[in-house]
Every structure is written in C-alpha cells, then in structure tokens.
Amino acid sequence: MKFYISTTGIKRLTISNSNSNSTAALKSSPLSSTASLRRISTRSIFPLLLTLSILLPFFFLRFAFLLLESAAACSSSLDCSGWTLFPANHHASSRLSEELSRAIVDSKDSGTVGVEDGVASFNQLVKDMISKRQDMRAFALKTKAMLHTMEQKVKSARNRESVYWYLASHGVPKGLHCLSLKLAEEYAVNAKARARLPQPEYVSRLTDPLFRHVVLLTDNVLAASVVVSSAIRNSVEPHKLVFHIVTDKKTYTPMHAWFATNSVDDSVVVEIKGLHHFEWSEDVNSRVKDMLEIHRLIWKRYYDDFKGANFDFDGEDKRKLDVLSPSSLSLLNHLRIYVPELFPDLNKIVFLDDDVVVQHDLSSLWDINLGGNVFGAVLDSWCGDGCCSGRKYSHYLNFSYPLISSNFDPDRCTWLYGVNVFDLEAWRKTNITSTYHQWLKHNLNSGLALWIPGELAPSLMAFKDHMYPIDPSWHVARLGERPPQIFSKEILEDAAVVHFSGPAKPWLEIGSPEVRNIWNKHVNFSNKFIKRCRIME
C-alpha cells in the first residue's frame, strides 16, 4: 500500500494496492479540509478529556461501592441480579438499610452470646469484616461486642478509681508522720513537753459538772489541735471548757507534747489520756476485742467482694464503699459506744469528731434539755421538720431480713455523728451498749449481711428511741465527700460546726480545695514543727 500526499494542499488522496493494481481517489475542496482539521483540533479534545476525567472516577467509585454493598447484602449471585448502576427508587440503599436494621434487631435478641470478645478498635473491626467477608449480622454483633467491652472497661476504671480514692484516705501524709516523730522526740528531750496535763491546780475541773466537758477520741495530733483551737477561739467563755482527749499508746507522747507546748488559752484545761491508762475489767476488754474482730471481718468480707468482682459494681453497691473508710477499722472510732465507761465521773458531755471545725460558741449545747433521751444529734435532713431529704434507715439496713424489717422503719431519717450531746447519767440507766453488741452478733450469725458496713448502722439500731433531734445549724456534714456536699455560703457560715465526714479529709491530698481553707485557718503554721515538716505544702 502506498500513500501520496501533496505539499501544496490536499486535493487528492490516492491509495494504491500493488497486488490488485486498484486505485481510490478522494476529492475534496480546501474549505472541507479546513473544517476537518477544526473538528480534531485541541479545542475539541480538551473538553472531552476534562469530562472524562470527571465522570470516570465517579463510575469507578460507584462500581466499587456496589461491589462492597453486594458482598454484605447479597446472600447469592441471584440476589444481586437486579443491581444496577443507578437503581430506581434507591433500591440498593433501602435494601442495605433493611439488612442493617434486621441485623441490629437480631443482635439485641441474641446479645453477644457466641461472639468472641470485641475487637480492640473500629479499624480492626473493618479489617476483619473485609478479610472474612462476613455478613451484616456479624458486623452488628461484633460492633455490639466491641462497644460492650469498651463500656465495661470504662466502668471498671471508674470503679477502681473510687476504691483507690477510699483506700488513699488510709494513708498518713509524710508531713503528719514527721510531726508525730518530731513531737515524740521533743517529749523525750524537753521537760516542758512532759509537763503534767492539766496543771495540778486545775485537776479538780476534770470532773466538775459546772464546767463544759468536750470529749475527743483521735490519733491525729494536727486534727486534734484544729478542733481544740477552733472551739476555744469561738467560745464566749473559753475558761469554762475542759477537753478530754483520748488517744492510742503510740500517739500519746506526741499528743501530750503538742498540747503541753502549744496553748491557745492558759485558762483552758486539756487532759490527754492513752488507752493504756484505762483499767477496764476483763469483761469490757473481751467485748471490745469481739467488737473490733467483727468490724474487721465485715471490712475484709466486703473488700474481698469488691476485689473478686474486679471492682464491678453500681447502684446500691456503691454505698458499700463506706466500709473502705478508715473509720471502719479505727479502734478509737468504735470506742464511742464505751464513753460511759471511759468517763465514769462525767454526767453531760459534748462529743466531737476529730474532722470537725468549730465556727461558733458551743455553750448552748450543754443547756439543751434532751427530754429524758440519752443523746442529741442533728438529723440527716435539710428540709425542716416532718421530712427527710437525707439518708434514711433503708440506706444502711437490709430490710430484706425479717429481723430488720420487724424492728425498724425504713423511712425513718437517720442522725449524724460528729457533734453529739450525751447525757451519760441517762445512758448508764439503759442497755444501749449491750444492745449494740447483740446486733453485732446477729449480724455475724446472718453472714454479715444485716446492714451496709460502717460504724453508724449498729449505732442507729442501739440508740433507737434514745435520740433527741437538735437544730440543724449545729452541724453541717459531708464536706469530705466527692464532690463535697454543696451548701450555700450562708449555711456554711451559720453552722456552729462543719464536719469533713467522708474520705477526703482536709489534711489529705485528696481533700477538696474548695472547703479546705475552712480547716487551714486554724492550723498553727507558725509552729516550728509544722514548718520543719512542711505541713500542707
């Protein structure tokens, strides 16, 4: 085949075949040749290429999506015979939606039974679905399993954090430990730190009913100093106050050294006694040991339950976290039931916990007529008479046991420890202490399940019908919870005593900074031992 092209203008195109000796002639005018060139010029090709560059990716993506959807929604090749590139009425989308809805419903009915543990991430889930070519139901089940696993991990982490927060309250900050050691050393080398408390001329006040007696059971030197200091500074007649502080044997020397060398008011009498100074009968010693052993068993049982359940708990079980509070194991805390034996020569006292701050004069507490009752306390309520917005007996006692339901009212409002007026003379005429021990034995025989752990529940039972409610302004509690109980500024300022009840004590790092300043302003930061031990830094 031969081609002949004229250089002066294409007027003739001759194609020759040497084998057949045939010729073909094409005649055209110069005008038609120019039009042909225009049709195949770049002006025509560029828009075509641009259009194709836009449409081709769209067709490719659409085709890819159809393949993916068909793999999940089609059970066989026949099921997908109706799939088209642009299905009418969005048939493919609606079918995919139906399949997904059906899979979700099936997953709700079947739960996660038969499904292996949820994958660690969504990317892994997608990877598994593509590699194993699983259907929509498997996707829904695996997604549900993954979300369930994640929810359980978050819940477990929160529960563990709550448990560790309670356990942190058992710790003794190094500053407080340092303070006790420094004061014990001071007791050994400084005669003034060993001086008799109270001074001989004030000994008669220890049993004089004309004075106002305050009892404090604690092994925390700094906390005791805040209670005594705040009470004295806010007292109208501080010279009438007599403080009886009972501590354990190891804390006796630092406690004595502190109050012997740091006097807020020389006219105030402070007595420091260690448990080793009391001479109790064998019967009392035996009952105290039994009481502590039962409380220890309660603590161990519930802590083991939390640990065995991998700290998986919610709802009412959260209330059982109170068993992890240090007060549940504190000997001094449980000995308040033996106050009449501790002070046989006293008739009326005000009992203060060591985590309180006194803000107003307490003199009127001794003038309250208890109406023949053993003690006075503030009810756990803020809505006035006739209602109970706080905790009730049902919060602490297990009313599923007939022994409890037949003796107590679940809707009865509880009262608060922290600020209490005790008529010890009236107490000695009752069987409150023996009733307390009877309920401890009932609880032991019932598998330790009669009440939620803590020191308050058995006291609520023992002091039933022996409590006189006093004005709520005497006592505002729960400043040691998380978050701290929210009270208005007016309520906090009007309260005679604020109570840091709960694990977040103000001397701990977990203490709430919002209310810690109430406690800090009564700490003697100018004291040399507090400076050396860097308390509260």
**Do the Cβ atoms of 218 and 332 come closer than 8 Å?**
yes
| Secondary structure tally for the chain: helices H, strands E | 19, 12
Say what the alpha-carbon torsion angle 342, 345, 348, 354 is, to the nearest 10 degrees. Answer: -30
- Which of 511, 469, 471 has its CA nearest to residue 360? 471
Decide if pLDDT at 36 tops 60. Answer: no
Contact (CB, 8 A) for 240 and 265: no
Of 328, 308, 333, 306, nearest in space to 318 by CA = 306
The set of residues, in sequence order, having a beta carbon less than 8 Å from that of 235 and lying 6+ positions away, is: 241, 361, 362, 363
Alpha carbon dihedral 420, 452, 170, 531, in 10-degree steps, equals -20
Residue 111 DSSP label: T
Q: What is the DSSP string of 51-82?
A: HHHHHHHHHHHHHHHHHHHHHHH-SSTTTTTT
**Weakest-pLDDT range from 45-49, 102-106, 114-118, 123-127:** 114-118
Mean pLDDT is highest, among 31-35, 83-87, 323-327, for: 323-327
* pTM (two decimals): 0.76
> Half-sphere exposure (CA, 13 Å, Cβ side) for 495?
24
Domain 173-532 superfamily per CATH:
Spore Coat Polysaccharide Biosynthesis Protein SpsA; Chain A (3.90.550.10)
Residue whose C-alpha is closest to residue 474's, from 403, 407, 421: 421
473 Cβ contact partners less than 8 Å away, ≥ 6 residues apart: 494, 495, 496
Coil, helix or strand at residue 353: coil
What sign has the CA pseudo-torsion 214, 376, 353, 521?
negative
Give the confidence band of 299 by pLDDT, cuts at 50, 70, 90: confident
**What pLDDT is stored for residue 136 in this prediction?**
67
Torsion over CA: 461, 465, 467, 472 (sign): positive
384 burial type by CB count under 10 A (0-12 exposed, 13-18 middle, 19+ buried): exposed
Residues 6+ apart with CB under 8 A from 412: 388, 392, 393
For residue 284, the tally of other CB atoms under 10 A from its CB is 14
- The one-letter amino acid at 41: S
Helix, strand, coil: what percent of the chain each, to 5? 50, 10, 35
Query: What would the DSSP string read from start to end of 123-170?
Result: HHHHHHHHHHT--HHHHHHHHHHHHHHHHHHHHHHHHHHHHHHHHHTT
Q: Is the pLDDT of residue 338 over 80?
A: yes
Identify which has the larger pLDDT, 307 or 193: 193
Least confident of 32-36, 271-275, 412-416, 440-444: 32-36
Which DSSP string do the residues of 483-534 spell out, in sequence order?
SPPP--HHHHHH-SEEE--SS--TTSTTS-HHHHHHHHTTS-TTSHHHHHTT
**Angle at which helices 30-39 and 42-73 cross, to 10°:** 40
pLDDT, average across residues 156-180:
87
Average pLDDT, the chain: 82
β partners of residue 258: none
In whole angstroms, give the CA distance from residue 359 to residue 373: 26
What is the torsional sign of CA 292, 294, 299, 303?
positive
Beta strand pairing call for 348-352 and 269-274:
unpaired
Confidence of residue 134 (pLDDT cuts 50, 70, 90): low
Instruction: Write out pLDDT tens, residues 369-402.
Output: 999 999 999 998 766 666 676 789 998 999 999 9
- Could you tell me which residue, 512 or 189, shows the higher pLDDT? 189
| Phi-psi group of 113: left, alpha or beta (phi > 0 → left; psi -120 to 50 → alpha; rest → beta) | beta
Determine the Cα–Cα distance for residues 32 and 29; give it in Å rounded to an integer.
Answer: 6
DSSP state of 191: T
Residue 489 has pLDDT above 90, yes or no: no
Structure confidence at residue 20 as a pLDDT band (50, 70, 90) = very low
24-28, 86-90, 522-526: lowest mean pLDDT where? 24-28
Query: Band of the pLDDT at 525, cuts 50, 70, 90?
Result: very high
Higher pLDDT, 314 or 400: 400
Q: Which of these, 177, 257, 159, lies nearest to 508 by C-alpha position? A: 177
Domain positions in the chain are 104-168, 173-532
Task: Spell out the alpha helix ranges (H) of 450-494.
Answer: 456-462, 489-494
Identify the DSSP state of 374. Answer: S
- The DSSP letter of residue 479 is T
Of 264-278, 435-449, 481-495, least confident by mean pLDDT is 481-495
**Residue found under tokens 């502190």:** 258
Q: Which residues pair with 178 in a beta bridge?
A: none
Please determine, for residue 76, whether its predicted confidence score (pLDDT) is greater than 60: no
> What pLDDT, on a 0 to 100 scale, did the predictor assign at position 114?
45
Q: What is the pLDDT of residues 198-235, one digit of tens each?
A: 999 999 999 999 999 999 999 999 999 999 999 999 99
Mean pLDDT throughout 158-170?
Answer: 83
Q: What is the mean pLDDT of residues 189-206?
A: 96
Q: Specify the DSSP element, H or E, that contains 251.
A: helix 249-261
Indicate if the pLDDT at residue 37 is higher than 70: no
